[in-house]
């Protein structure tokens, strides 16, 4: 996928990318390729694949859902989807949560080079971040971080009541949603929508949208060892 094809595909899902935004995506791609030579940011290294499998893929959950308020991206890695959302929606306040210090250094460099405003980087684990920022965000998202039963406990405590949790999943997304049903109920969320999409090579994507109807009980999140060893 070329940058111009990204513009076209985005228009088809209701996202208008300006020339300035496309220039930012070009610069972001260049930084990814440059930094990827000295640290492990992504296994995807070709420009056309970065554009489709990272940029386009990150925008797919926003079809008919313009993000507003503050969005937190848990385990953002190289900035997906958080930085992509910030480029496409400059008025969105974005928080990037990433436990690996070197990746945080990269994220800050991207923010500086692209001159992005109103975007923060926290070198935190999600469960630690929740201690100071509990129920602080309008939207919480995560992409390729963990199984949904585990991911739910890392993300939902960060979400405001009536906020939206967007879990970006692959082909097993529907199965994970069924398995995580109990966890979501305990944490205060209900499944609002399941949306299937695919990339050009047929890579299947399932984006899950949960609405937080109740405050998350105070005992969650637990420490990561307990979350992983005994998911809700």
User: What CATH number is given to the structural domain containing 218?
Assistant: 3.40.50.150
**Domain for residue 49, yes or no?**
no
Overall pTM > 0.75: yes
**Domain for residue 197, yes or no?**
yes
Query: Tens digit of pLDDT per residue, the chain (232 long)?
Result: 999 999 999 999 999 999 999 999 999 999 999 999 989 898 889 999 999 999 999 999 999 899 999 999 999 999 999 999 999 999 999 999 999 999 999 999 999 999 999 999 999 999 999 999 999 999 999 997 789 999 999 999 999 999 999 999 988 999 999 999 999 999 999 999 999 988 877 688 899 999 999 999 999 999 999 999 999 9
3-class DSSP state of 94: strand
Domain count, the chain: 1
As given in the structure block, the two tokens for residue 160 are: 């405001």
Q: What distances in angstroms separate CA 153 from CA 52, 141, 194, 219, one per listed residue?
A: 29, 12, 19, 11
**Domain for residue 174, yes or no?**
yes
**Domain for residue 79, yes or no?**
yes
Domain extent for 185: 67-229
As given in the structure block, the two tokens for residue 101 are: 């210090």
**Domain for residue 129, yes or no?**
yes
């Amino acid at each position: 996928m070329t940058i111009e094809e990204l513009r076209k595909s985005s228009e088809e899902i209701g996202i208008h990318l300006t020339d300035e935004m496309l220039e930012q995506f070009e610069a972001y791609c260049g930084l990814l390729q440059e930094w990827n030579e000295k640290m492990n940011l992504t296994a995807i290294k070709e420009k056309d694949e970065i554009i489709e499998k990272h940029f386009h893929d990150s925008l797919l959950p926003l079809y008919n859902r313009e993000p507003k308020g503050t969005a937190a991206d848990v385990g953002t890695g190289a900035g997906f989807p958080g930085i992509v959302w910030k480029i496409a929606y400059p008025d969105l306040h974005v928080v990037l949560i990433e436990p690996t210090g070197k990746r945080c250094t990269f994220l800050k460099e991207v923010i500086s080079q692209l001159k992005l405003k109103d975007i923060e980087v926290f070198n935190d684990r999600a469960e630690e971040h929740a201690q100071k920022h509990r129920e602080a965000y309008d939207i919480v998202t995560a992409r390729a971080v963990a199984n949904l039963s585990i991911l739910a406990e890392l993300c939902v405590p960060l979400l405001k009541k009536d906020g939206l949790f967007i879990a970006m999943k692959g082909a097993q997304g529907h199965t994970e949603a069924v398995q995580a049903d109990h966890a979501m109920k305990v944490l205060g969320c209900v499944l609002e929508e399941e949306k299937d999409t695919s990339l050009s090579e047929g890579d299947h994507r399932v984006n899950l949208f949960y609405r937080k109807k109740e405050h998350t009980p105070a005992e969650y999140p637990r420490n990561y060892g307990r979350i992983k060893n005994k998911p809700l």
